[in-house]
Amino acid sequence: MQTHTLPSGAAAQLRLQFDAVPSPYEDAEGALIGLFRAFAALPDELLAALFRFSRDPASHGALLIDGWPIDAELPPTPTSGQLPAGGRSLHAEKSLLGLAAQMGTPVGYRTEKDGQLVHHVVPMPGGEFTQSNRGSKVFLNFHNDSMYDASMVFNSHNPDFLLLLCLRADHERQAQTLYVDAREALALLPEAQVAVLRQPRYRMAAPSNYTLLIHGAKGDEKVWSAPVPVIQGPAAYPEIYLAANGVQPMDDGAQQALAALQQACEAAGHDSAVRLAPGQALLINNRKGVHARTAFPARYDGQDRWLLRANIRTSLWDIRDRATQQALVFA
């Protein structure tokens, strides 16, 4: 994984420019325009890294950049995934959205945190054991962020990129975010198993936020996709798809290939594990690879781990069938 650091002088200049940018909560379009202009003045080396990461099919699927402006004084870490009015951390949110705008367009989904452009990823009471961003006490399986769709293919309208910006690390610094580029994992598998993974012999569970909040499913009830492959696309540039909430192989051969892939992800993922620290941004290609998170203790004392997240699309035209009357928010 490549790493870069925003020079302190460039960070200070961004802070000054942020003052002239409206709140993204009050004027999302105006904020993105102002932030796009401000971020265009970043150092050429950093802009080149962002350009290659977001546009070159051959680039690695994860990039870590340190030094982003966040607010000097943060409110207590929320425990609901929502911040009360007046508790927003606007420097951090402008860092998040300005960086996202260099990669594509930040979007909201109605089934994920009510369509908000900025997500507060925090451990939540009652969600400790879920395979979702609410969890803390279990390993969050290697997965792509996906969205429920009536076509029953849940990676058709999902984000192309994810952006995670750390505001506060967990108390013991145990939480690790892992990323595996599909090319790294597939290189560890025999061709016969890769061929199986390329066949529509798997059903993917819809995200837990959909099943719990929208569908009304309870307990272990899941909503399964149509049969889909795990791997698609040319061998040089494969796309991978795994659901965090569950993958259902449809036969023994599919099960064996999936188990081998999961072992490969575990072997490769720990080599790129990151313990995110305040001001660090992790850029994730949501199609080239899969990501995971290790377990960590949550205390719910106002000082727990706190990340901001943005979903990013390179094309809104491809998801126009889910457009809503609210700009940049999709059903």
pLDDT in tens, 73-114: 888 999 887 776 665 668 999 999 999 999 999 999 988 888
Q: Which residue has the tokens 């200049």?
A: 13
What pLDDT, on the 0 to 100 scale, is given for residue 272? 84
The one-letter code for the residue type at 95 is S
Q: Which range of residues forms the domain containing residue 45?
A: 2-330
- Listed residue (138, 140, 186) closest to 288, CA to CA: 186
Which DSSP helix (H) or strand (E) runs through 161? strand 161-168
Say how far apart CA 182 and CA 205 lie, in whole Å.
20
- Listed residue (99, 109, 95, 85) closest to 157, CA to CA: 109
Count other Cβ atoms within 10 Å, centred on residue 289: 27
pLDDT one-digit tens code per residue, 307-320: 999 999 999 999 99
Q: Helix 8-18 to helix 90-103 angle, to the nearest 10 degrees? A: 110
How many domains does the structure of the chain reveal? Answer: 1
pLDDT one-digit tens code per residue, 6-22: 999 999 999 999 999 99
Sign of the C-alpha dihedral computed for residues 317, 323, 202 and 205 taken in this order: positive
CATH code: domain of residue 220:
3.60.130.10
Instruction: Compare 177 and 126 and report the one with higher pLDDT.
Output: 177
Which DSSP helix (H) or strand (E) runs through 13? helix 8-18
Please give the structure tokens belonging to residue 216: 């009304």
